[in-house]
Amino acid sequence: MTDTDCLFCRIVAGDIPGDKVAETDTVLAFRDLSPQAPVHVLVIPKVHSPNVAALAASDPALLADMAVVAQGVADAECGGEFRWIFNSGATAGQSVFHVHGHVLGGQQLGWSPA
């Protein structure tokens, strides 16, 4: 996987537009194109890593930075309460293989992963 193959690397680079809601030196947050809740924001590291476990192994501090950004988005948009989902692998629903945490909130959330 190279930056030019990866959709989210291309959003980080500005080659593809993203509806940005927060940014740090290392992390970007932007709205999901297909929102599943009133607040649905993707939080990603700017560097490429395929999934959450790979990022935790290679750079745990960066994963922690993502958590801080996720909380900041939730503080700004849904009273600080949110669900943070990492789909890991195609059978779990991962379709973009650049690690991203889905920040979901803004309503009472159900629990129906099927």
Catalytic residues: 100
- Using the rule CB under 6 A, is 91 a contact of ligand AMP? no
- Using the rule CB under 6 A, is 96 a contact of ligand AMP? yes
DSSP 72-113: HHHHHHSTT--EEE---SGGGT--S-S--EEEEESS------
Q: Report d(CA 66, CA 102) in Å as an integer.
A: 11
User: Which secondary-structure segment (H or E) carries 110?
Assistant: none
Binding mask 23-52 for ligand AMP (x = CB under 6 A): -------x-xxx-------x----------
Least distance from ligand AMP to the Cβ atom of residue 2, Å: 18
Q: Give the residue, chosen from 29, 49, 87, 104, that forms a contact with ligand AMP under the rule CB under 6 A.
A: 87
Q: Report d(CA 53, CA 76) in Å as an integer.
A: 27
Q: Under the rule (CB under 6 A), what is the footprint of ligand AMP?
A: 7, 16, 18, 30, 32-34, 42, 87, 93-96
